[in-house]
């Protein structure tokens, strides 16, 4: 049975971000006893924990309960029905990167289930899905927040929304949107010193856990393209999909047909010369190369790829796997509003999700 001041939380996904989120949720629930956040559902792709009477699942031991559960997760539409029938407001926390889950957002929202998520797929997929999501939310009053879909916990989405909502005109957005690409180019083409071979840097990044299990999923530029699609749409451009604008892939054409990431990594050294030449050409002009994305709102031009920067440019001077995002607007004039910091990692990504959850909950009567 639901208390007067209770909110039900359902979580899908218990990977890197999901585990960090659980830990933050536990802290939050302890610190803010009201409204009471009651975990009533948690699942991975294989297992689920829930009960028909919405009994509280201890956040402390949720992962253990999940490991011990013999239940398989129900169909998503059944999960949504379960949440929509709960005796209080519900928030679905999608900590996956699953397109299948994203596709169900319009259904969840239309049934009054709010959503917070770092999942990029929902907001960077077909434009029709984007429209369906926000139409459903407006109609039901359910909330949908996705700060961590761009730049992890950095306040990127909220800042862009504030700019737009208060009537500023965003003219241009540019920056480094991938922690992986940031790390790779800060090491391969540092502002001081030489940097290693391209293929060695890719291998190092993979070994350090900075890339996806298959590094091609970073090098193809699609991750950055997805983030730009989200920001462009928030800035008012009806971008059709993340493949609707020029995206430079760093996978050599000859290696596009590799059947595995391992095969790709093995053959990559043969193509180091290509990247070395691009780097040398920039160096000749006193510059360094970086993998950036830009949205020119005025001319409706979105693009992703390599670009040369002066060594003193903030984009060149990034460290580690930091992101940097510059918003050029009418009000801010020639000096952009800049946000910089770690744009990947379980804890900072989960932070964006938790902060979103706090915002959603604060809007419940």
Tell me the C-alpha distance between 97 and 238, whole Å: 23
8 A C-beta contact, residue 267 and residue 211:
no
Q: Does 358 bind its own copies (CB under 8 A)?
A: yes
Smallest separation (angstroms) from its own copies to the CB of 163 = 7
Q: Does 153 bind its own copies (CB under 8 A)?
A: yes
Tell me the C-alpha distance between 196 and 242, whole Å: 31
Smallest separation (angstroms) from its own copies to the CB of 224 = 20
Rule CB under 8 A: choose which of 24, 65, 241, 248 binds its own copies. Answer: 24
Q: Is the peptide bond before 35 cis (omega within 30 degrees of 0)?
A: yes
Q: Does 340 bind its own copies (CB under 8 A)?
A: yes
Assess whether 319 carries a catalytic annotation: no
Q: Give the helix, strand, coil percentages of the chain, each rounded to 5.
A: 40, 20, 40
316: left (phi over 0), alpha (psi -120 to 50) or beta: alpha
Q: Does 3 bind its own copies (CB under 8 A)?
A: no
8 A C-beta contact, residue 350 and residue 24:
yes
Tell me the C-alpha distance between 364 and 7, whole Å: 9
Active-site entry in 143, 206, 227, 287: 227
Rule CB under 8 A: choose which of 158, 237, 289, 299 binds its own copies. Answer: 158
Q: Does 159 bind its own copies (CB under 8 A)?
A: yes
Closest by Cα among 323, 306, 78 to 210: 323
Q: Which is nearer to its own copies, 70 or 334 (CB)?
A: 334
Q: Does 312 bind its own copies (CB under 8 A)?
A: yes
Q: Does 168 bind its own copies (CB under 8 A)?
A: yes
Tell me the C-alpha distance between 86 and 126, whole Å: 31
Q: Which is nearer to its own copies, 88 or 258 (CB)?
A: 88
8 A C-beta contact, residue 28 and residue 44:
no
Smallest separation (angstroms) from its own copies to the CB of 269 = 30
Rule CB under 8 A: choose which of 46, 71, 131, 331 binds its own copies. Answer: 331
8 A C-beta contact, residue 326 and residue 337:
yes
The binding site for NADP(+) consists of: 13-18
Annotated active-site positions, please? 227
Interface residues with its own copies (CB under 8 A) are 24, 27-28, 31, 153-155, 158-159, 162-163, 165-168, 312, 314, 317, 319-320, 322, 331-342, 345, 347-348, 350-351, 354-355, 358, 362-363, 365
The binding site consists of: 13-18, 96, 120, 212
């Amino acid at each position: 049975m639901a208390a007067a001041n209770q909110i039900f939380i359902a979580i899908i996904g218990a990977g890197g971000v999901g585990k960090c989120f659980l830990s933050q949720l536990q802290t939050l629930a302890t610190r803010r006893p009201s409204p009471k956040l009651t975990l009533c559902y948690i699942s991975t792709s294989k297992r689920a924990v829930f009960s028909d009477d919405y009994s509280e699942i201890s956040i402390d031991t949720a992962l253990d309960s999940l490991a011990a559960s013999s239940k398989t997760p129900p169909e998503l539409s059944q999960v949504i029905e379960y949440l929509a029938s709960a005796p209080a407001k519900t928030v679905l926390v999608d900590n996956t990167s699953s397109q299948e889950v994203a596709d169900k957002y319009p259904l969840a929202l239309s049934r009054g289930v709010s959503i917070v998520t770092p999942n990029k797929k929902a907001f960077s997929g077909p434009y029709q899905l984007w429209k369906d999501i926000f139409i459903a939310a407006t109609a039901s009053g359910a909330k949908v927040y996705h700060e961590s879909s761009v730049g992890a916990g950095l306040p990127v989405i909220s800042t862009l929304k504030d700019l737009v909502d208060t009537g500023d005109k965003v003219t241009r957005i540019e920056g480094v949107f991938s922690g992986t690409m940031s790390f790779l180019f800060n090491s391969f083409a540092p502002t001081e010193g030489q940097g290693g071979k391209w293929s060695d840097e890719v291998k190092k990044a993979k070994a350090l856990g900075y890339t996806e299990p298959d590094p091609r999923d970073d090098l193809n530029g699609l991750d950055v393209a997805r983030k730009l699609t989200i920001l462009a749409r928030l800035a008012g451009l009806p971008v059709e999909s993340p493949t609707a604008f020029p995206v430079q892939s760093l996978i050599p054409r000859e290696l596009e047909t590799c059947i595995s990431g391992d095969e790709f990594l093995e053959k990559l050294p043969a193509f180091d010369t290509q990247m070395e030449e691009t780097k040398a050409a920039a160096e000749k002009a006193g510059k360094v190369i970086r993998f950036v994305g830009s949205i020119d709102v005025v001319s409706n031009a979105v693009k992703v790829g390599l670009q040369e920067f002066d060594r003193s440019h903030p984009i060149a001077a990034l460290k580690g796997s930091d992101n940097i995002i510059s918003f050029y607007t009418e009000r801010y004039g020639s000096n952009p509003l800049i946000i910089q910091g770690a744009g990947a990692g379980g804890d900072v990504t989960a932070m964006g999700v938790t902060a979103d959850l706090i915002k959603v909950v604060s809007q419940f009567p």
